[in-house]
Chain A
Amino acid sequence: MEQLKTIGRELAMGSQGGGWTGQSKEFLDLVKSIGEARSKAEEDRIILREIESLRRRIAEPDVPRRRMKEYIIRLVYAEMLGHDASFGYIHAVKMTHDDSLSLKRTGYLAVTLFLSDDHDLIILIVNTIQKDLRSDNYLIVCAALTAACKLINEETIPAVLPQVVDLLAHPKEAVRKKAVMALHRFYQRSPASVSHLISNFRKRLCDNDPGVMGATLCPLFDLITADVNSYKDLVISFVSILKQVAERRLPKAYDYHQMAAPFIQIKLLKILALLGSGDKQASGHIYNVLGDIFRKCESSSNIGNAVLYECICCVSSIYPNAKLLDAAAESTSKLIKINPDVAEEHQLAVIDCLEDPDDTLKRKTFELLYKMTKSTNVEVIVDRMIDYMISINDNHYKTEIASRCVELAEQFAPSNQWFIQTMNKVFEHAGDLVNVRVAHNLMRLIAEGFGEDDEGADSQLRSSAGSNNSQDTYHPLVGCRAKLSMTGNWEKVNSYLRILGEPKLPSLFLQVICWVLGEYGTADGKYSASYIIGKLCDVTEAHLCNDTVKAYAISAIMKICAFEIAAGRKVEMLPECQSLIDELSASHSTDLQQRAYELQALLCLHSQAVESVIPLDASCEDIEVDRNLSFLDSFVQQSIEKGARPYIPEIERSGMFSVSNYTSQHQHETSSHTLRFEAYELPKPSPTPAAPQISVSTRTTDLVPVPETTYYTENNQASKLQPVLDASSADHGIKLHLVGVQKKWGRPTYSASSSTTSSSEKKTNGVTHLDGVSLQSQGTLYDSKGQQSEKQKLAASLFGASAGKTEKKPTSTQRAPKANTATAERPGVARAVSPEISKQKAASSPPPDLLDLGEPISTTTPTIDPFEQLEGLIGPTPGPSTLDNSVTTSEQKAPDLMALYTDTPPSSSSSISSGLGDLHSADKNSPMAKNVPSIKKGPNPQDSLQKDATARHVGVTPTGNNPNLFRDLLG
């Protein structure tokens, strides 16, 4: 005991403060020797010796009273250290009889510590307590009440009860509150004996003294816990008390850490939670005050959190109120942000429910998942839903799940690729149950999604080729957009051909397959026309299909033949195809007949005519229907000149009405069976995933007036202009690169505003880039072999989004200003310097693309920070590569949970992945930090590059003010 060496000083302080309880030298020596004892045995020896001496001396006759007091204290001390001091109990009891306040209090203290309520000596004390409760000195009364509280048992309650009840009206508030507590204690011990006195608690609630009121809450809480209904009338009182407390009407003495009487608030909230539970009317009174407290609560201090926690508990147990629940949820999420690990347990519970054998539980869980789907977890959830859908047989429920899958996929799909795959699965397993509209949507996406596939192919190629080299491969690839797009669809054709092998397919799905085979089956030349046609004929035979499927099949055959003829190849008619045509020409369905005849007619046409009738890959072109039939004007004119009767408008012909009506209806009918050659409805700017991604590679882009995509047109022009321009290799590369860059940065994606992430995406480019990174890492979740269990992964991908977002905050704040300053710097200079820049860029090593990381699902990143790339360019020569590599590796290594939970402080030792988290965050921050100065003070070329960045930022970003600048850049 080091501190005992300074015993003198300490004691001086102690006695100076305490003053009234100095101890004798012997006691000090005792404490000192115990403190210096080396072992438990030595300590025991010392105390036993002390007890022996006490036993001897306490029994001596005529011990002075003050000495006796000290003996008693030493006994208490000895007993605290675990030694029996029962021989002295009787002396403690005797001491309670003493007149002196000090001695009496010591006596009471000793007996309350020594005796249990069924000790034999109690009977000797009851009398004293009775007498003391009537004392004039309120301190004696208080001491007696304390003792009564501890020592009075069921049998002796009646002896002191009247006095205690009288004391409830004592002028001293200290006595009143202790009397309340004593009564509470009696009630706890023997409710029957005091049940008639319960109303006293209600009275004391209105006591003038807040201390008494606060004390009364304790018994009332217990009473209400036992029997809620008898106390409903008190709700209003409690609410008004709570209101007063929250408004700081209580004396300043009750403030604790700048909170107004938090302990009383907590107790009141507990009581209100009990009273309001399941009671709409009572809860109605509570809402207001709860809202007030929510507003006033600061979560900065511990006690603030305590009140907040109690508030949340209260909100969750009373009759629900949407606004309060929102506030509670918000506060909870704030609490969880402190340590996201605490949420994991609950997340795993949801996952467990998914695997529960109970079907009802599963369904409910899927409902929950459906509600909480966002763009970050849509893939996992929809995958699960489809798995479940496949496993169930109940058609009704299957339909529901299928429609939900479709809805979620349309709303949140991260990429067209994924969307199409998902839709394929849905069709395959529940094709008969989904809406026809969905099939049309899918076909449209396949047709229009060229750019998307292209993108996917690009990114796959690039990510597989590695960071720097990929740039080289990338440029020419962009030039061969069309070719690549074929490759994208070839995969699809391939997969559809494989699926066709399945014995039984829903007709809607067959329609889609037929259509795709017709459009793209031969497009890349991998499959011969006759092979595809053979397959299509098989479709009509093998699958007992209806007329619609047959119509789709024959149309597909027609298209393939048309493409072949247009390409100048001869079409060999397979026997089965011929027989199909023959069969359909004799079909009962006029639609099928017409198609068959059309096909036959087409086969006889000249190749140029065929090409204009059915152009290659023009499914999304607008066909302008000239409703006035103006091209016939000259013909009409000629006829009239030759003496034909002029046309009489329909309205003027009275009798013909019904006929015309019939024909138009008939036309309508037939048209509903045919393929739609007119443009699909214009995409709305709304964020549904089904909104078409206008690809730059399709020729049709210009025809479709899509709002918000003006720069595509520009882009398109750029690529068209390209051959015209001086096609030096450098320029070529740069231009192409710019095209690619722009496409990535500028393309509006559905997730841009479709999900909860939109808030963060609206901020700056820096933020959105990070978004992409984290999303990417999430995407690779299933590939990486994390140490975490499967379930945790699943949970992470389901719930991760919110946690993942928090991680970005520090980084984004760090980067955002940088981006701003760059933008602010003379945006006008860009045009002047741009040619030189392009040269420089071409000469320098291919720009490391930081964005590669986000690429596999880059479709989810709405805009990607151009400055990332610039930073890579500008930095010192080793800079870019290290930066690039380090980020890449960290992304690959970091398990997904990291991305989601990295806001756990890296120092927390419990976190398994904290090491990786360190790596992760370090990689993110340090290279960036290194590069910052180099940007600022870089030599000339770097400066100009920066300006270029500025220009591009302005021109490229959709939110930029000056989109024309980009055109200027291209010259």
Chain B
Amino acid sequence: MLSKKEKKLIKEIWERLTPVAEDIGSEALLRMFASYPGTKTYFSHLDISPGSAHLCSHGKKIVLAIAEGAKDISQLTVTLAPLQTLHAYQLRIDPTNFKLLSHCMLVTLACYLGSEFTPVAHAAMDKFLSAFAAVLSEKYR
């Protein structure tokens, strides 16, 4: 459960990250591919080498979707409805991978924000990304 304070903090952080969505998103993906090579199996149709156009555009897409969800967390199910359908019926990504990307997103944020990524911010972000992943996999079964 996210408090009002936590929702405000998350919204502020993602607003700050929107202008650098490509950098944050591509870095999080690169971290995930390096630490969890099995995740690369979902991207065999793309060039996911560091700095590639595919990696940058896909990273940007992911961060902008998360930022959109962060604008009104109470409406996550409505905001993510099209992405729920996409992931459940087309992409069919095993939902355990959402945890792996979430962890790498947290490490990316820690590296980007440094000491600003306080334990309180970390807790709020972890809760938000868990909720985001749970909503994303709601239509799986």
Q: Do A and B come from one complex?
A: no
B interface residue numbers (CB < 8 A to A): none
A interface residue numbers (CB < 8 A to B): none
